[in-house]
Amino acid sequence: MRPGTQRGQTLVVFALTLALFFTGMIVLVADVSALFVAYNRIDSASLLAVQSGASAIDANSFYAGSLRLDQAEAERRCRQSFQDARVTGTCSASAREVAAHARQAVHLPLTLFGAQATVSVLRTALPAYGGTRAT
């Protein structure tokens, strides 16, 4: 080979490497965007669910001077909020707090790490009325 026959080879190799790098970055951005949108949807639904549940104050205990939740009503309101948002989640309540846990499998648009990923959110809330919180 003569010394001048391989001119531009570095440019071709660099262009191919850069094309592969940008393809990987596009896939990564698309997957992270899908996860971010799903997380925000699930997080908002969980927040609304615990707020709905925390509004179920037991009237008898309130008028007796303590702030407690009606556990059955708090769980019902929490589950109803998940149903209205079309999100699958579980709710649990005690006299002091309500918790909502949502979990969703997200199908990634461009698969770099796998076909799907799981997004999970846990939210808790205490009942509050006026300036009073449950203790």
Q: Would you say residue 40 lies in a domain?
A: yes
Residue 74 lies in a domain: yes
Q: Please tell me the predicted confidence (pLDDT) of residue 8.
A: 74
In-domain check, residue 1: no
* Residue at 135: amino acid letter: T
- Does residue 127 sit within a domain? yes
What range does the domain containing 71 cover? 9-133
In terms of Cα–Cα distance, which of 99, 90, 108 is closest to 38? 108
The answer to whether 74 touches 100, Cβ cutoff 8 Å, is no
132-133 and 116-125 as β-strands: parallel, antiparallel, unpaired? Answer: unpaired
Phi/psi region, residue 24 (left: phi>0; alpha: psi -120 to 50; beta: rest), is alpha
Residue 2 resides in a domain: no
- Answer yes or no: is 19 within a domain: yes
Q: What is the pLDDT along the chain (135 residues), one digit of tens a residue?
A: 566 666 778 888 899 999 999 988 998 888 889 999 999 999 999 999 999 999 999 888 888 888 889 999 999 999 999 999 999 999 999 989 999 999 999 988 877 667 888 999 999 999 887 766 666
Is the whole model's pTM more than 0.85, yes or no? Answer: no
If one counts the domains in the chain, the total is 1
111 located within any domain: yes
Q: What are phi and psi of 122, to 5 degrees?
A: -125, 125
